[in-house]
Amino acid sequence: MTAATAALHFLLAFMLVACLAVELALLKAPPERVPFPALAKIDALYGLSAGLLVAVGLYRAINFEKGWAYYSHSLPFLIKLGLFVAIAIASIYPTIHFFRARHGDKHVDRTTIDRIRRIVHLELALVAALVVCASLAAKGIGFVT
Ligand code: HEM
């Protein structure tokens, strides 16, 4: 069961990163050709993977691995949670635009698309930092009493 939840956690994390990478690729198109219906679907998948990551992650932290008594004193783990919240907040702006423009009735200009791309880049950078924190927490580095 521990291995199964660990594998699920990895698969969900890969799914989340893949969604962000696909969003970036689709946002490269000229403004009038950006496929907002597809972006809205991928963003929904991204939201689903993020939601399941929290559920599986918390379940692991509380029931498996080193237990909540350890994680609540692990600085990298707490930073990891903070980064996760920051990523969730950053994703609100792109999500709003993808869903508003998905029926093709709302024009999104180049400036807004560039801003969305910068935000998705930032989200990917924060995920990279989060993975470093995940590894430090897993190896017992940064435990504070
Ligand atoms: C984008 C989101 C996330 C990513 C990319 C991610 C990534 C990872 C990775 C790569 C590991 C394995 C670390 C290693 O063995 O070296 C891991 C472990 C873990 N993650 Fe996450 N994680 C995410 C979100 C979360 C969340 C939201 C929680 C909890 C609320 C969580 C809880 C855990 C736990 C408990 C472990 C096991 C650590 C251990 O082995 O002691 N993760 N995560």
Sequence-ordered list of residues with C-beta below 8 angstroms from that of 23, at least 6 positions apart, any chain? 39, 42, 43, 46, 94, 120
Q: List, for residues 27-75, the tens digit of each pLDDT value.
A: 999 999 999 999 999 999 999 999 999 999 999 999 998 999 999 999 9
Q: Within its chain, how far is the Cα of 8 from the centroid?
A: 15
Q: Which of 1, 9, 83 gets mutated to test ligand 1 (max ligand atoms within 8 A of its CB)? A: 9
pLDDT digits (tens, 9 = 90+) for 98-140: 999 999 888 899 999 999 999 999 999 999 999 999 999 999 9
Dist. CA 54 → ligand 1 center (Å): 9
CA of 94 to the centre of ligand 1 (A): 24
For residue 74, what are the β-bridge partners?
Answer: 143
User: Which tokens belong to 125?
Assistant: 């950078």
Phi, psi of 139, rounded to the nearest 5 degrees: -90, 5
DSSP 51-107: HHHHHHHHHHHHHSTT-HHHHTTBHHHHHHHHHHHHHHHHTHHHHHHHHHSTTS-S-
33/13 Cα distance (integer angstroms): 29
Q: What is the pLDDT of residues 1-26, one digit of tens each?
A: 899 999 999 999 999 999 999 999 99
